[in-house]
């Protein structure tokens, strides 16, 4: 480990995985914003926009999946603490010809951050889009999920150092 590297908190002194004890940490307001995208055929994105898929309103179901995924992160990721989320916001934007952007904002007041909840929400939404549209486009690519921003806690504000190159183009309509 280099001198400036931080130790991995999910391993004890013997190298065994463990859940971090956050009991002594103060409760603070915490927020995380994660982004991701699904690449698809232009016709698939058009069908989603029209609400013209066999399984119904893709974005409404994906929004619910993102919220449910964020709420259940502690059950899915082995060493995550279950958190009382105070807010999960889910937004979508389209970029032509065939990119659907997903943005999830998670908030809590607690002793540990909500980065994993925001990221899990993005992934749950992307997987739901794939599931609902795979009959018309099995070649969709799910990817590009990343933590854009987080605030609160001892480490304070984090903004991804490559945000300008990773972020969706300016001017997209988020809804």
Q: How far apart are CA 68 and CA 34, in angstroms?
A: 15
**Which strands sit side by side in the sheet containing 141-151, from one edge to the other?**
85-95, 99-110, 28-39, 141-151, 158-159
Q: How far apart are CA 71 and CA 124, in angstroms?
A: 11
- With b for 16 or more beta-carbon neighbours within 10 A and e for fewer, the 11-34 pattern comes to eeeeeeeeeeeeeeeeebebbbbb
131 annotated active-site: yes
Q: Which residue has the tokens 């590009």?
A: 144
Contact 90, 122 (CB under 8 A): no
Contact 47, 53 (CB under 8 A): yes
Catalytic residue (choose from 3, 4, 57, 131) = 131
Catalytic residues: 131
């Amino acid at each position: 480990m280099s001198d400036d590297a931080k130790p991995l908190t999910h391993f004890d002194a013997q190298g065994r995985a463990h859940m971090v004890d956050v009991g002594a940490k103060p409760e603070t307001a915490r927020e995380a914003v994660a982004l991701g995208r699904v690449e698809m055929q232009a016709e698939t994105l058009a069908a989603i926009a029209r609400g013209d898929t066999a399984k119904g309103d893709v974005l409404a179901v994906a929004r619910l999946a993102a919220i449910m995924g964020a709420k259940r992160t502690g059950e899915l990721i082995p060493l995550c603490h279950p958190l009382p989320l105070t807010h999960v916001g889910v937004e979508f934007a389209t970029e032509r010809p065939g990119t659907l952007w997903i943005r999830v904002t998670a908030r809590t007041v607690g002793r540990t951050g909500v980065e994993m909840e925001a990221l899990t929400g993005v992934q749950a939404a992307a997987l739901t889009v794939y599931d609902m549209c795979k009959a018309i486009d099995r070649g969709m690519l799910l990817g590009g999920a990343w933590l854009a921003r987080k605030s609160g806690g001892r480490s304070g504000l984090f903004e991804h150092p490559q945000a300008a190159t990773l972020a969706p183009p300016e001017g997209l309509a988020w809804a």
